[in-house]
Structure 1
Amino acid sequence: MFVTPAFAQAAGSAGASGGSALMQFLPLIFIFVIMYFLLIRPQQKKMKETRAMIEAIRRGDMVVTQGGIIGKVTHVKEDGSNEVEVEISQGVKVRVVKSSISQVVSKTEPAASAN
């Protein structure tokens, strides 16, 4: 006796569910758009800037590694090994993977070309 009115109400509203389905997903779409602009896009921009900074490292730059070591780049290996040689003290040189460099403190000016 109580079951039939419930089925009757559900059957009556089934025809109007097409528009409400979009309205149910609208808040999820809105949240994703906000997440994209607040989290994903700035992170991608930062990764792009970091990648460009690492690729632009050259001899004479003062760098900071992720371990906090500050040193001067003395040699950049171009053989595809992604390593640089960093002098952390007079006569003390260490090999560092480029991706472990977190910051370039000071950049050297490129040498003027002799024309």
Structure 2
Amino acid sequence: MFQAMTASATPAGGGIVSLIVPLVLMVAIFYFLMIRPQNKKQKQRNSMLGQLKKGDKIVTIGGLHGTIAEITDDVVVLRVNDVTKLTFDRNAISSAVARETAE
């Protein structure tokens, strides 16, 4: 009776390959659906932040619209209206809208 139980408890062929193949497929799916697109978006964002210049109209992460009055490596001063200037971290910029032609 003991031998009958051990014979039925063994897996039906494939061995370790049948365990590794689904794991590899899951890792590949996560890479192509999650990691790779996120890296692509991060590269585009870094490129956009690197190309910012004085006069560009931008939107911050908080939704504030303004024009770049001054810019350094890590700080941006935004002109919100004729009088108000606000200082932000460069990483607080969400997107660049357009470049102002007349200053």
Shorter-chain TM-score: what band? 0.7 to 0.9
The equivalent of 2:4 in structure 1 is: 5
Work out the percentage of aligned pairs sharing the same amino acid: 29
> Unmatched 5+ residue regions in structure 2?
none
**Aligned partner of 1:88 among 69, 74, 80:** 80
C-alpha spacing 1:107/1:20, structure 2 compared with 1 (3 Å): farther
Q: Give 1:99's aligned residue.
A: 91
Count of aligned pairs: 101
1:61 and 2:53 are equivalent in the alignment:
no
What are the superposed Cα offsets for residues 74-105 of structure 1, whole Å, 9 maximum, x if unpaired? 10124xxx001100111100001000000000
Structure ranking higher in helix proportion: 1
- Per-residue CA deviations over 1:21-62 (Å, capped at 9, x if unaligned) read 111221121121111111110110001110111111110000
Unaligned runs of 5+ in 1: 110-115
Alignment TM-score, normalising by the size of structure 1:
0.77
User: How many Å separate the matches in 2 of 1:38 and 1:108?
Assistant: 37
Which protein is bigger by CA-based radius of gyration?
1
Residue matched to 1:113: none
CA-atom RMSD in angstroms: 2.3
Task: Indicate the residue corresponding to 1:72 in structure 2.
Answer: 67
**How far apart are residue 108 of structure 1 and its match?**
5.5
State the match for 1:112 in structure 2.
Answer: none
